[in-house]
Amino acid sequence: MREYNCKVSKRCGGCQLSYLRYPDQLIYKQNQLSSLLSDFCTVDEIIGMKNPFNYRNKVQTAFYWDYKRQRTASGVYQSNSKSIVPTDKCMLEDEKADKIAVTVRKLCDSFKLRPYDIKKDYGFLRHVLIRRGFNTGEIMVVIVSATPVFPSKNNFVKALLKEHPEITTVIHNVNDTELNLALGARSKTLYGKGYITDTLCGCTFRISPESFYQVNPVQCEILYSKAIEFAGLTGKETVFDSYCGTGTIGIIASKKAKQVLGVELNKSAVRDAVTNARLNGADNVWFVCDDAGEYLDYITGEGERFDVVILDPPRAGSTVKFLNAAVNARPKRMVYVSCNPVTLKRDLDYLTENGYAVKKIQPVDMFPFTSHTECVALLCKN
């Protein structure tokens, strides 16, 4: 296995576990999860990566003006701060994406496009977002600027494509807010379709610039497959997919279930989910834009029954309101996909006190070199 040798690791702070070799990181995470969760059941062995480098298929590079050298510099935001650490590559990021970001930087100098300086409120380029479809190879480049006028944009795009003909779409986004890495509300497609597609567990998904899509596709496929396996689908089940995002888990599940209902709070994610369902010819899956708990309460009140409830909440975990609705819905099984073991423990405590037993916990290492871990837990009704 390659050695970790990042020169900016200390300043960047993104790789909290870089002081450990990869096999030791897995042991560290396993121990941490076992001490937190083994009261519920044995925690299965964490599934690590064969190659734990360059797994991020979503890359964001920030730009600033280097006064000393009188040229544009680029790098990553320091964890929890606004300062940019100059670097051309990150050991966790897709290598092709890193190269494209360097080309964007060079082109900015040759086209005399100054990076944006937030203190002076002067300049053009803020950051670039690059996403790559792992299985399709499609590449999206989003140029995010502070001002709406993009001088010589056609020649800029031409020069970028000449250097990287594998880019399939280029988008210009205007972010005039205070938030550094955010995308603004206005986007204009300069080249290609304005989105990319990728395949995951045999299904196709559309990824727009602002869509949520897991950043580690290799491990994501393993995670979702585990979630579907834990759901125990035979083709007869009705499934409630809560916190469904762009519908990924629900659409994959729909191939093996009778019916799937996905609920998600974010409007644009629901729009993507509907498109994704159509893209996959999944006509037994529906999506609703609402609070997952409120909707589950409502629909069970209408007499609807679910065999399986899947939940994949954000880092803050679920809420008593949702968990209570899930318990009242009385599904045979619940599958909890979690990106934060601490809130997972809190929510499993609630569910085990209310008629469910934890049968399996499978950790998957989605974010090597960082302190984050993802888990899938299976609960069955007592």
Q: Is residue 272 close enough to count as binding ligand SAH by CB under 6 A?
A: no
Q: Cα separation of 241 and 23, whole Å?
A: 34
Shortest Å, Cβ 210 to ligand SAH: 11
Which of 25/248 has CB closer to ligand SAH? 248
Helix residue ranges, H only, 182-266: 217-231, 248-254
| CB-based closest residue to ligand SAH | 245
Q: Is residue 85 close enough to count as binding ligand SAH by CB under 6 A?
A: no
Stretch that binds ligand SAH, among 1-9, 185-193, 195-203, 239-247 (CB under 6 A): 239-247
Taking residues 207 to 226 in sequence order and writing x for each that binds ligand SAH by CB under 6 A, - otherwise, the string is: -----x-x------------
Query: Would you state the structure tokens that stand for residue 325, as one six-digit string?
Result: 């609705």
- Residues in the interface with ligand SAH (CB under 6 A) total 18
For residue 228, the cross-strand partners are none
What type of residue sits at position 270? V
Taking residues 297 to 336 in sequence order and writing x for each that binds ligand SAH by CB under 6 A, - otherwise, the string is: ---------------xxx----------------------
Residue with tokens 């979630």: 227
Among 25, 6, 142, CA closest to 86:
6
Among 248, 254, 340, 373, binds ligand SAH (CB under 6 A): 248
Which of 263/376 has CB closer to ligand SAH? 263
For residue 333, the cross-strand partners are 308, 380
Burial 71-86 (b: 16+ CB within 10 A, else e): ebbbbbbeeeeeebbe
Shortest Å, Cβ 372 to ligand SAH: 14
Which of 12/337 has CB closer to ligand SAH? 337
Among 57, 32, 53, CA closest to 220:
57
Q: Is residue 275 close enough to count as binding ligand SAH by CB under 6 A?
A: no
Shortest Å, Cβ 241 to ligand SAH: 7
Shortest Å, Cβ 339 to ligand SAH: 8
Q: Is residue 243 close enough to count as binding ligand SAH by CB under 6 A?
A: yes
Q: Is residue 292 close enough to count as binding ligand SAH by CB under 6 A?
A: yes
Cα 94 to Cα 42, 99, 132, 168: the distances in Å are 34, 9, 8, 16
Q: Is residue 266 close enough to count as binding ligand SAH by CB under 6 A?
A: yes
Stretch that binds ligand SAH, among 148-156, 164-172, 175-183, 244-252 (CB under 6 A): 244-252
Catalytic hit among 201, 220, 339, 375: 339
Which of 145/214 has CB closer to ligand SAH? 214
Q: Cα separation of 142 and 130, whole Å?
A: 6
Helix residue ranges, H only, the chain: 9-12, 22-37, 95-110, 153-163, 217-231, 248-254, 267-279, 292-301, 320-329, 341-352
Q: What is the DSSP string of 353-378?
A: TTTEEEEEEEEE-SSTTSS--EEEEE
Residue 339 falls in the annotated catalytic set: yes
Q: Cα separation of 198 and 131, whole Å?
A: 10
Radius of gyration of the chain (CA): 22
Contact residues toward ligand SAH (CB under 6 A) are 212, 214, 243-246, 248-249, 263-266, 269, 291-292, 312-314
- The residues annotated as belonging to the active site are 339
